Structure formats: structure tokens, C-alpha cells
């Protein structure tokens, strides 16, 4: 019932990378039809736990304790035709189970149904690469369902690589159409006595939340050792952007439910640079600037240093710094005035700084099984996250990859 909004979770799902299969084209290329074959199978399992004292459910005070167990399986298939085209088919299924002490406080009298929940999120994707023209076009469909939230979405993408294969341009667009069941805190349920849909359930019906985003990126190999990429995004949300079970306490002790504007426009921009120091060391850097029309502005700086310990094992320590200017609609517990139009005590929308320290250990055994597939990668990633408002979390993830032969 509660959506895990911390961006730290996204760091770990980045280990599920899709590695494109490369084909060397001669002066007079000849293409042969190939049957559908298995390219990759990725399996990811992770455990995430957080502690904090500023739950939005209880008005900016109270426990934020939460644990999440996530499992994802990703499969990639491909085939070629005799016209120089590669067809790529992908599918993914994810299942999360979480327990949340904070969302259990939606109902102050009995344990809420939201104290634990399961989220299921399958997706499909398809892409056609023209190996002669060095272009690719594809699409994706996604679905997500949990106790009070359902999302259906999809998108299209296009990429073009230069003749010398040193430059690549990508553009993608996505749209998500969500339905939010508006569960409210127990103090407000007396207002539902005359509403048969809400009586005894704690909800006041469904509300839409639609999201649209457009992303453009340009990547280039600058030298044999140095690579860069630039990304520019536009995102727009409209609908129920408030969390209906978040309480807000005012200076005069009045109690209301969180209320935020019904639209939000976001502009993130980022640059990524990788430098190959030698055969065994890479410096990976990333910077992102973000702002939106809720007056949130943020800066993200990330450094990663993959080091090849042996022919099979590499270790990648990583550090990420994040600084955020909070929205004008935020105030802490009993910090809001009754004249305000919009109000929230959700500390995810406040001003704060955070530090994340992590390490990824990767092994590439390439062990073959019956000439059918190979165990191509084993990885474990762990990290610690600390935020200036007292929120802290830890996560560990295991990644296993198989490749077809």
C-alpha cells in the first residue's frame, strides 16, 4: 500500500544491464536467417531495510521502519533475418514483498491491511535493429499492481549510431496510466459513514494519476580511453499526486490530509563520463541536476571505481552524494498555517543531504552447461544510505546472469 520512493533502490536494479550482442560487418555482408535463440537470463534478488523517525503517515513524526524483499527475472531472446535486421524480444517479471510499520499507522485502532503488501510488475519489450543503417526502434509495455495502486504503461524508443560507431543518439517516450485507491487515516473515516463504497474500508474511491516522460541522450567515444554521454529529460504528471493517508498537523492543532497540486513538471539533466585508466581500472562519474515546478531542486554526484582483481573477479566501490532543496509546500509536524493552500509533512519532499556508500563484487566464470547456456556472471552488491533528517537504510542484492550459446 505504500510506495517505496527512495531513489537508492534504483541503484541496485542497475545491475541488471542488457548487453547488446555485437556483429562485425564486412565490406560485403551476408546475412542468414537464424531461429529464435536465448541471449540472456538475469535473476536479481534483494533485501532492503530502512529506519527513520519522520513518517509522513503520522504527520512527519513516528517510525519509518520498512523492509522490502524483491525478486526479478529478466529474459532476452533474439533472431536475425537475411536483410541485416536483428529482432530482440524481452520479458520481465518482478515480485516484491514488504512490511511497513509506518503505513500500519493509517488505522490507529487496529492493524492496517497496509502493514504488509505484495507488488507484482511484469513487462514486455520488443526492438528491431537494422545492422546496415545502424538504427534501432522498439517499444515496451508494463503493468504493476499492489494493494491500493495499479499502473499500466508503455513507450517507444529509437536509436541511431554513427558510421564509425563512435556516436549514438537515443530518444524514448513513456506514458503511465495509474489508478490510486484513496485510503484515508482512521480519524477521517467518520466522514465516510454515508458513503457505502468507503464505509468500513477506509477509502473514498479511486483517483487517476497519469505520467508522461521524454528522454534524449547523446553518447560519444571521445578517445580510446574517454567516453561521455549527455541526457536531457522532460516529465509531466497529472492527477492524484497527494498521498491520501498522509496526515498533516497544523500550528493550531488542526488535522488534515496531505494536499498537493494536481500537476507536476520535472526537468532532469545529467552527464556521465568514463575514463579507462588502464586494463584493470575504470573511473566512472555521473552528475545530475533536477528541478520541478514544486520548487524542488537537487544535485547528484556519483563516483564508481571498478578494479579488476583477476581475470574473473572485479570489485567496484561507489559513492553517491545527493543534495535537495525542498518544496515550498513542506513543513514539519505542526509547522503549517491554516491559510496555506497546499501542505505536506513528507520528508521526501523536504530539504536534505544524503550519502550512499556501496560496493559491487562481480565474477564472470563463463561456465558452460551441456552446450546450451553458460553462467556468465555472478554479482553481489551492498550499500549503506544515510540522510541528514535521520533516515538510514541498507540493501544487499544478488545478481545471476546466464547467456545462451
User: Residue 262 falls within a domain, yes or no?
Assistant: yes
The cell numbers describing 216, all together, are 534524449
User: Residue 3 falls within a domain, yes or no?
Assistant: no
User: Residue 2 falls within a domain, yes or no?
Assistant: no
Question: Is the separation of the CB atoms in 328 and 349 below 8 Å?
Answer: no
User: Residue 45 falls within a domain, yes or no?
Assistant: yes
The cell numbers describing 353, all together, are 543531504
Question: Is the separation of the CB atoms in 308 and 316 below 8 Å?
Answer: no
* pTM of this structure: 0.86
Can you give the CATH number for the domain in which 269 is found? 2.40.160.40
pLDDT of amino acid 28: 38
Which residues form the domain of 29?
8-404
User: Residue 82 falls within a domain, yes or no?
Assistant: yes
DSSP string, 60-105: S-B---EEEEEEEEEEEEEEE-TTSEEEEEEEEEEEEEEEETTGGG
Distances 76 to 34, 64, 127, 170 between C-alpha atoms, Å: 15, 37, 11, 20
Q: CA triplet 349, 353, 251: central angle to 5 degrees?
A: 45
pLDDT of amino acid 204: 80
Distance CA(248)–CA(262), nearest Å, equals 18
Question: SS3 for 268?
Answer: strand
Question: Is the separation of the CB atoms in 135 and 129 below 8 Å?
Answer: yes
Distances 180 to 29, 119, 242 between C-alpha atoms, Å: 53, 14, 10
pLDDT of amino acid 328: 96
Per-residue pLDDT of the chain (405 residues; tens, 9 = 90+): 444 444 445 544 443 333 333 333 333 344 455 678 889 999 999 999 999 999 999 999 999 999 999 999 999 999 998 888 999 999 999 999 998 887 778 877 655 555 778 999 999 999 999 999 999 999 999 999 988 889 999 999 999 999 999 999 999 999 999 998 888 888 887 655 554 444 455 678 889 999 999 999 999 999 999 999 999 999 999 999 999 899 999 999 999 999 999 999 999 999 999 999 988 999 999 999 999 999 999 999 999 999 999 989 999 999 999 999 999 999 999 999 999 999 999 999 999 999 999 999 999 887 777 677 788 899 999 999 999 999 999 999 999 999 887
User: Residue 1 falls within a domain, yes or no?
Assistant: no
User: Residue 225 falls within a domain, yes or no?
Assistant: yes
pLDDT of amino acid 192: 55
Distance CA(402)–CA(42), nearest Å, equals 7
Distance CA(337)–CA(383), nearest Å, equals 39
Q: Which class for 28: exposed (0-12), middle (13-18), buried (19 or more C-beta within 10 A)?
A: exposed
Domain count, the chain: 1
Distance CA(208)–CA(202), nearest Å, equals 18
User: Residue 201 falls within a domain, yes or no?
Assistant: yes
Q: Which residue has the cell 473514498?
A: 204
pLDDT of amino acid 40: 93
Distance CA(272)–CA(291), nearest Å, equals 18
Cβ burial 168-181 (10 Å sphere, 16+ → b, else e): bebebebebebbbb
The cell numbers describing 297, all together, are 531542486
Amino acid at each position: 500500500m505504500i510506495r517505496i520512493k527512495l531513489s537508492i533502490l534504483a541503484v541496485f536494479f542497475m545491475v541488471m544491464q542488457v548487453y547488446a550482442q555485437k556483429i562485425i560487418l564486412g565490406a560485403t555482408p551476408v546475412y542468414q536467417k537464424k531461429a529464435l535463440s536465448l541471449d540472456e537470463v538475469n535473476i536479481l534478488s534483494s533485501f532492503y531495510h530502512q529506519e527513520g523517525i519522520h513518517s509522513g503517515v503520522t504527520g512527519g513524526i513516528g517510525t519509518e521502519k520498512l523492509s522490502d524483499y524483491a525478486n526479478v527475472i529478466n529474459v532476452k531472446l533474439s533472431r536475425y533475418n537475411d536483410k541485416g535486421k536483428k529482432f530482440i524480444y524481452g520479458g520481465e517479471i518482478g515480485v516484491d514483498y514488504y512490511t511497513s510499520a509506518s503505513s500500519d499507522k493509517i488505522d490507529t485502532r487496529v492493524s492496517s491491511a497496509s502493514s504488509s503488501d505484495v507488488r507484482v510488475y511484469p513487462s514486455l519489450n520488443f526492438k528491431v535493429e537494422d545492422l546496415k543503417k545502424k538504427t534501432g526502434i522498439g517499444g515496451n509495455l508494463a503493468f504493476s499492481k499492489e494493494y491500493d495502486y495499479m499502473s499500466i504503461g508503455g513507450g517507444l524508443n529509437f536509436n541511431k549510431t554513427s558510421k564509425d560507431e563512435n556516436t549514438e543518439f537515443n530518444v524514448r517516450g513513456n506514458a503511465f496510466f495509474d489508478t490510486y485507491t484513496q485510503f484515508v487515516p482512521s480519524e477521517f473515516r467518520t466522514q465516510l459513514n454515508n458513503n457505502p463504497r468507503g464505509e468500513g474500508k477506509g477509502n473514498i474511491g479511486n483517483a487517476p494519476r497519469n505520467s508522461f516522460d521524454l528522454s534524449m541522450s547523446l553518447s560519444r567515444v571521445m578517445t580510446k580511453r574517454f567516453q561521455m554521454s549527455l541526457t536531457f529529460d522532460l516529465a509531466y504528471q497529472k492527477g492524484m499526486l497527494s498521498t491520501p493517508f498522509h496526515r498533516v498537523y497544523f500550528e493550531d492543532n488542526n488535522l488534515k490530509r496531505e494536499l498537493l497540486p494536481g500537476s507536476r513538471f520535472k526537468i532532469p539533466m545529467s552527464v556521465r563520463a568514463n575514463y579507462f585508466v588502464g586494463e584493470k581500472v575504470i573511473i566512472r562519474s555521473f552528475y545530475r541536476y533536477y528541478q520541478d515546478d514544486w520548487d524542488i531542486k537537487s544535485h547528484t554526484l556519483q563516483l564508481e571505481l571498478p578494479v579488476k582483481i583477476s581475470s574473473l573477479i572485479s570489485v567496484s566501490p561507489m559513492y553517491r552524494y545527493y543534495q535537495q532543496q525542498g518544496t515550498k509546500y513542506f513543513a514539519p509536524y505542526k509547522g503549517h498555517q491554516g491559510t496555506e493552500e497546499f501542505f505536506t509533512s513528507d520528508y521526501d519532499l523536504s530539504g536534505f543531504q544524503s550519502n550512499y556508500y556501496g560496493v559491487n563484487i562481480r565474477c564472470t566464470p563463463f561456465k558452460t552447461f551441456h552446450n546450451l547456456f553458460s553462467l556468465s556472471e555472478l554479482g553481489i552488491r551492498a550499500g549503506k544510505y544515510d540522510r541528514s533528517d535521520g533516515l538510514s537504510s541498507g540493501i544487499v542484492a544478488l545478481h545471476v546472469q546466464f547467456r545462451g550459446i
